[in-house]
Amino acid sequence: AMDGNVYNETTEPEARRPRRLPLGCTLRHLRGWRLPVKVFQTIFSIVAVVCEELVEECITCSGLYFFEFISCSAFLLSLLILYVYCTDLYESLGEAKVQKL
């Protein structure tokens, strides 16, 4: 006799990934000496930006403007690196994309 249930489900439903906060903090990607180095790099670059802003007069300011650009860029890139490596964004992007970045 034919019942309507000829086929049974053979696959298991896909397990849902646990929801994480987008800014969940993790330190597992910057272990050992790498985390303190990145933190000091960020602190020193913002100190350089502040020191540059304290200069009131200069004779030839092109070098000072170049220093401001480099120190500000270093600060922003250091913040980006800390954000990517110390939050769940690393897992969201994947290691291959982070290495390309």
Helix H, strand E, coil C: the string for 46-69 is HHHHHHHHHCCCCCCCHHHHHHHH
Answer with the residue of higher pLDDT: 30 or 51.
51
User: Average pLDDT, stretch 71-92?
Assistant: 85
Strand partners, 25: 87
What's the mean pLDDT when you consider all of the chain?
Answer: 78
99: its two tokens: 């290495």
Considering only 35-49, 63-77, 82-96, which range has the smallest mean pLDDT?
Answer: 82-96
Answer with the residue of higher pLDDT: 91 or 33.
33
pTM summary value: 0.64
